[in-house]
């Protein structure tokens, strides 16, 4: 196991110095799932939710969150993202929304936290918009799917939970 990079030689928290790292193309994908009652999903898909377009609002929230990750997660670098995508789709089970995010940049540090933050905030926004009609929703399976670029290269999750 590699050592924790956010700790200095004394074990104190620090922001990692990326000054000497090469600028490379970097990309990360993450996912989240929001499980809900079938009726809640029907309202979302049919555009009948009283709060409006739930999926569009969650998409925008995810994009905005990726851009603000450094304000939310201590020790994250402020990154100049060149692309952020948030895709939301009705689950095949008829009772969930699947969220997949992708963040890209050319830079000195990775974008895993931005992709994870985008997925998490999109899921929380969906929950917030729908909680009045379905308090039992569950945000589930928030995880990194893939990362590319940088010294550690390409990493891909071994399995995808449903």
The full DSSP string for 44-58 is: HHTT--TT--HHHHH
Burial pattern 114-144, b for ≥16 Cβ within 10 A else e, equals: bbbbbbbbbbbbbbbbbeebbeebebebbeb
15: annotated binding-site residue?
no
- The distance of Cα 7 from the centroid of its chain, to the nearest Å, equals 24
Contact between 99 and 66 (Cβ < 8 Å): no
Catalytic residue chosen out of the listed positions 8, 53, 71, 128: 128
Distance CA 139, CA 159 (A): 19
Helix (H, G, I), strand (E, B) or coil at 71: helix
77: annotated binding-site residue?
yes
Tell me whether residue 128 is one of the annotated catalytic residues. Answer: yes
5 phi and psi, to 5 degrees?
-80, -15
Handedness of CA 52, 53, 54, 56 (dihedral sign): negative
76: annotated binding-site residue?
yes
> Per the annotation, where are the binding residues for substrate?
75-77, 113-114
Query: Which residues are part of the catalytic machinery?
Result: 128
Residues marked as binding?
A: 75-77, 113-114
């Amino acid at each position: 196991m590699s050592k924790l990079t956010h700790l200095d030689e004394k074990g104190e928290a620090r922001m990692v110095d990326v000054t000497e790292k090469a600028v490379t193309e970097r990309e990360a994908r993450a996912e989240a799932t929001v499980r809900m009652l079938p009726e809640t999903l029907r309202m979302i898909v049919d555009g009948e939710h009283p709060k409006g377009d739930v999926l569009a609002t969650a998409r925008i929230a995810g994009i905005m969150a990726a851009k603000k990750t450094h304000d939310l997660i201590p020790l994250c670098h402020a990154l100049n993202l060149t692309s952020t995508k948030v895709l939301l789709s009705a689950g095949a089970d008829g009772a969930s929304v699947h969220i997949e995010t992708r963040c890209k940049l050319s830079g000195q540090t990775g974008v895993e936290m931005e992709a994870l933050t985008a997925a998490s905030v999109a899921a929380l926004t969906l929950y917030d918009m729908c909680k009045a009609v379905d308090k039992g929703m569950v945000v589930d399976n928030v995880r990194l799917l893939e990362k590319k670029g940088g010294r550690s290269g390409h990493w891909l999750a071994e399995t995808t939970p449903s």
